[in-house]
Structure 1
């Protein structure tokens, strides 16, 4: 088959609408009130003709300064700056005035211009994706190229968004009343998603949509155990709510996404099973369990299998990949909570090159907050603390201990620290070599044992920052054998758990 001659091919021009651009500029020059219809979403770079962009920018500057922008004032401004010939002279400004549209229609013309610009951005992105795929000049493997393309597409959508704007106070009040009604109906003051831990729910009112919560602590404090407990409690409450409404076989409409960057999915599942069946995870791994233990283990696994928990154990996942997977999960299964363990193991969006580690963490925390707002779900991100905690006499964490970036504190709606006194106290057990005689050693050891008994099975959760509620300490129960957190019974002895 003969190929078409080159002269017969018609090149496709990028999307543009010159008539709409001229008509809108004419409307702006004829009636400056038309600017109110387009000022929120339209800027000079959205115009396909650079001349039109220059004219729009000049109109924009004058109107933002409270000055008049018409054919006469713009002509004088362009003459003064030497740009009059570049924009087509006074004749072209007069021509624009002859192509005016009404103030009411100015917004529609603006959207046509914006839409054409958005299409041009998509074409540019498509060409970049194709060029990257043909070569590896940027050193990105195929999977990284997919994530870079997703990130670029997200950035276009974010930059081009024309949504938002004011919300009528009556609607805002209605939403506030609905939140209060939810808390009143549930009781215990819980208006958000329940965590399964009584005192946390009381202090915070549950987990609220669009919030970024940072759970931080030094290694060994139980960050992962507490995060999985909250994820488990939230999933349990979603399942129970579905069953209460639609019967015992109901399936929840939303679930919990758990990104485990440090532990594998089976390790995480083993931890949840250990907690639920009350069998030591260490014994499970070594196979040192009786038949009755194994039966309890299997029974617990059947119960847990109904929970809407989805685990992603991709190591060093990028923020763009996480965003894509959360969107997909929300679309397919529903999503009510995201847990990330932990944020220092994440990577920024593919194709971006932060100058240093602080900037990298800043990008990640800002992106996590953006995901929380976009998907309207709470996001819990675990974070490491700096080693300066270890150099203090009182090792209870402070906001200044947050590792690598002040933006963690800035971007978060809630910052929580988990702390266990017994972890540090166990390291200070008196040794005979440090004492002159046995009497002094036994006295010191008895005192140490009393201190250990006082803090045994106890943990502390410090809410150091909460935008919408009080700060302070929450006492929790902790079983080291099962790495299990629970509500602390203040009226009975800990060994009765």
Structure 2
């Protein structure tokens, strides 16, 4: 019999309030005797009775649990001070047993890899460290008015005015970046990925449509200021000056530590597993996730082709993932064609495909708009980043300079923030 389980049950009898606090369920104990004992404790507590050793001795089937001597033995193992550690150990052992069960069932029934990963992921999502007393929370924030804010808390967008509005990308928050095709969504995403990488974060790019080679060449073009077309044949088309810059550009990009996953039809469960793996590989860096794009994420269920339900599930899963890993998640989204039929083609919330749940779950929603895309004669080469939803701050429009040939974004010098 597991000594950890004896310590656990003994502590419950010694300090009854722990039964209300514990996240361990009776079925997560290995010993069936211990499972039954804990179930009896839960029943007694529900009936408003104590679960101390005296009350437990009144159980009608006490002998089947080993009698009074067994209860006294449990009590002697109690260690209330180390209860948290004991609880964690029991959950870890349960996870290991569950993992083995899932793998054997999966082998017998020939499950697909995605299903195995999803089931394993469910176990891993059992977590205990989500509790903060208000007392502790207030103690943490007490000195805030006199302290400099830690610079690493949030990831910079690399666009000064956008950082002012949103406070940068924040842990646990989902940002949706939405636009019509050819507006520059991927370029903006890669700009964010580079800037957060140089800022000390670990950017994980899940590209469900564009292959890794194309992403890499886009990163090189925007960083070096090279025309994208030239990268189809760098040897023949790059100037000598550009070739001289090449190794510096490669070196700079290498410092971002960007990780690219370009498998089509990835599920949230697979992204979670890959994120965890990267967190182990880079223990000192906080991940920041970029997903291109929303409706290409594979759902765990089919919903009989109901794309609204599918997007709702995915949208909620993105938020859960951001919270569980306490990291920012930036997800690209396509807009409906309805934009094109309006005189003012700046996007609105209703233009997001299956917008309801996305609008609700996202913390920040950014739209992109380029006048030059619609007005070919326009001399305005800027890109508008429209902050349409901002849970923790104002909304408004930020303008940046955008070179559609290189994919490069730059801050505009003049006051370009229009906050409402």
State whether residues 23 and 96 of structure 1, in contact with CA within 8 Å, keep that contact through their aligned partners in structure 2.
Answer: no
- Alignment correspondent of 2:375: 425
Task: After superposition, give the CA deviation of every residue in 1:463-490 in whole Å (9 maximum; x if it has no partner).
Answer: 1222222222112222222222221233
Query: Are residues 60 and 461 of structure 1, via their aligned partners in 2, closer, same or farther at CA, if it must alter by over 3 Å?
Result: farther
The superposition leaves residues 35-92 of structure 1 with CA deviations (integer Å, 9 ceiling, x where unpaired) of 4444442445446357546534433433xxxx45689xx9xxxxxxxxxxxx957998
Please list, as runs of the form range in 1=range in 2, the aligned pairs for 1:236-385 lying within 5 A after superposition: 236-238=198-200, 254-285=201-232, 287-333=236-282, 334-348=285-299, 356-385=306-335
1:400 aligns to what SS in structure 2? helix
Q: 1:117 to 1:212 in 2, by over 3 A?
A: closer
**What is the match of residue 130 of structure 2?**
164
TM-aligned CA deviation for residue 259 of structure 1: 1.9
Alpha-carbon distance between aligned partners in 2 of 1:393 and 1:15, rounded to the nearest angstrom: 71
Partner in structure 2 of residue 248 of structure 1: none
- Bigger radius of gyration: 1
What is the CA–CA distance in structure 2 between the aligned matches of 1:179 and 1:336, rounded to whole Å?
Answer: 28
C-alpha distance 99-114 of structure 1, shift in aligned 2 (>3 A): farther
In 1, are the aligned partners of 2:62 and 2:68 still within 8 Å (CA)?
A: no
- Given that residues 417 and 464 in structure 1 are in contact (C-alpha distance below 8 angstroms), is that contact kept between their aligned partners in structure 2? yes
Tell me the number of residue pairs that the alignment of Structure 1 and Structure 2 aligns.
403
How far residue 389 of structure 1 moved from its aligned partner, in angstroms, is: 2.7
CA contact (8 A) 1:37 1:107 kept: no
Deviation at 1:34, TM superposition (A): 0.9
Greater RCO (Cα-Cα under 8 Å, separation 6 or more): 2
* 1:396–1:97 Cα change, 3 Å: farther
Per-residue CA distance 1:156-208 (angstroms, 9 max, x = gap): 2323x33332335355443575698454x86xxx9622222111112122222
Compute the displacement of 1:272 (Å): 1.9
CA contact (8 A) 1:44 1:53 kept: yes
Does residue 408 of structure 1 match 2:358?
yes
The equivalent residue for 2:344 is: 394
CA contact (8 A) 2:26 2:36 kept: no
- Pick one of 154, 158, 175 that aligns with 2:121: 154
1:445 aligns with none
**Which residue of the other structure, out of 41, 48, 58, is the alignment partner of 2:43?**
58
Structure 2 residue corresponding to 1:200, chosen from 158, 162, 172: 162
CA distance in 2, matches of 1:125, 1:105: 28
CA contact (8 A) 2:386 2:397 kept: yes
Q: 1:231 aligns with which of 193, 215, 228?
A: 193
Segments of structure 2 that go 5 or more residues without pairing to the other structure are none
Give the whole-Å Cα distance in 1 for the aligned partners of 2:395 and 2:41.
50
1:391 offset after TM fit, Å? 3.5
Is the 1:275–1:483 Cα contact (8 Å) retained in structure 2? yes
- Alpha-carbon distance in 1 for matches of 2:197, 2:316: 26
* Contact kept? 2:172, 2:319, Cα under 8 Å: yes
8 A Cα contact 2:178 2:185, kept in partner: yes
Distance 1:92 1:221, change over 3 A: same
Q: Distance in 2 between matches of 1:382 and 1:57?
A: 46
| Contact 1:17-1:116 within 8 A present in 2 as well | yes
Could you tell me how far apart the structure 2 residues matched to 1:404 and 1:153 are?
29
1:394 alignment partner, SS class: coil
Q: For residues 387 and 135 of structure 2, what CA distance do their matches in structure 1 show?
A: 31
Indicate conservation of the 8 Å contact 2:197/2:255, yes or no. no
2:378 is the counterpart of 1:457: no
Counterpart secondary structure, 1:258: strand
1:318 Cα deviation after fit: 2.3
- Deviation of 1:223 (Å): 0.9
Paired residues of 1:362 and 1:405 also in contact (CA < 8 A)? no
Residues 24 and 91, structure 2, Cα contact 8 Å, conserved in 1? no
Change (3 A) 1:175 1:24: closer
RMSD between aligned residues: 4.1
Question: Which residue of 220, 231, 251 maps to 2:182?
Answer: 220
| Structure 1 length-normalised TM | 0.68
2: CA distance, partners of 1:109 / 1:491? 56
Instruction: Work out which of the residue numbers 189, 207, 210 in structure 1 matches 2:172.
Output: 210
TM-score, normalised via structure 2 length: 0.78
Of 383, 398, 401 in structure 2, the residue corresponding to residue 474 of structure 1 is 398
Q: For residues 85-100 of structure 1, what are the structure 2 equivalents within 5 Å? A: 99=71
